Each structure stands twice: as C-alpha cells, then as structure tokens.
Structure 1
Amino acid sequence: MSAAPGLWSYARERRVDGLSAYLTAMTLGAVAVSVLPGSTRFLLAKEALLTGVTGVWFLVSPWVAQRPLAYLFSRPLLEGRLRWPPD
C-alpha cells in the first residue's frame, strides 16, 4: 500500500485510507530526512526521528482518527489479505 492505491481509493470513494496515508507519509518523511545534510551523529539520529514520529502517530491516532493505526495494521493481517510468502 502506498500513494497510488491511496489516491485511487480517494478518487473512487472520496475517503482517505488511513493505512495508505500513514505509509505514504512515512515514505515521504524518509525521503525528506535522507536528503538532509548533517554530522555523523545526525546520520544515526535520522532513523530515530521517523521511529519517534511513528510512535507518536500510534499514540495519538485513537483520539484523532476514526480508526486507530493499530487497527488499520492488524485488520488486513487478520483477514488474511497480507500473506507471506504470497500465493
């Protein structure tokens, strides 16, 4: 799930898919953080920045979103839509 399925879902159903929005935001955040210059310490801290954003997103999502982020992640797994290895 990424930006393309999220945009398709929005164009077709006029609603934002929470999981696609999260994954797209994290991908764009990783790209933005990877192009920032900095010292060697900052290079090590870049990944921690995105991990912190993810943690805050998980903690805040039950209060501001219709469905918590943990629910959006677990539902496809429990329904069997995401399998490894793929059939």
Structure 2
Amino acid sequence: MEDIVYTVKTAIHDEINVPYEEIDEDYHLNFQLEMDSMAQLEVLARVQEELGIEIPEVDLPPEKDYFWFVGTSVYHLQLLARQQQRYEEDDAD
C-alpha cells in the first residue's frame, strides 16, 4: 500500500510546500508541519479523490485523532481501504 503513503506525502507537499523527502511519518500535522485545519481537510479531500477511499465524517478531526500524525493518517487510510475492499488483505505494505 505504498501508494497511500505516496499520495498522503505528495498531497502534504503540494499543500504546504514542504519537500517530500522531509515529511516524516512521525510528524504531527499541526506542530511539526504547521498545517491548519483547512490544509488538513484539503489533503484528506485530495486523498479521497485520488485513491477512492471514503473517509467517514465521524473519523475527521476534531472528532477523532486518526489524522493528527502522518503515520496514523496512513495507517487509518490503509484500514479504510481494506474495509472498502480497495486493496487485498494480503497485499504487501
């Protein structure tokens, strides 16, 4: 599911102009990347559109903390993709 990692990092890069290779999965979107809530929603909207993964409204900030860090964002999107059968369970990460 490397395409999820690539899509998330590319969307972040395009939204806030941080070099792709400097986006660490441990980074907090607000603190290390200094993304405001609108930038976060723009990234998530792009990821939904490009990957065809539906993110339920109840999963979005501030309701849940799934999308506070780059890594947890990727992980939650992978779970959603599997639930929505976008990827096979045995697909290598």
The two structures have a TM-score, normalised by structure 1, of: 0.35
Higher relative contact order (CA 8 A, sep 6+): 2
Q: Which has the higher helix share?
A: 1
Larger radius of gyration: 1
The two structures have a TM-score, normalised by structure 2, of: 0.34
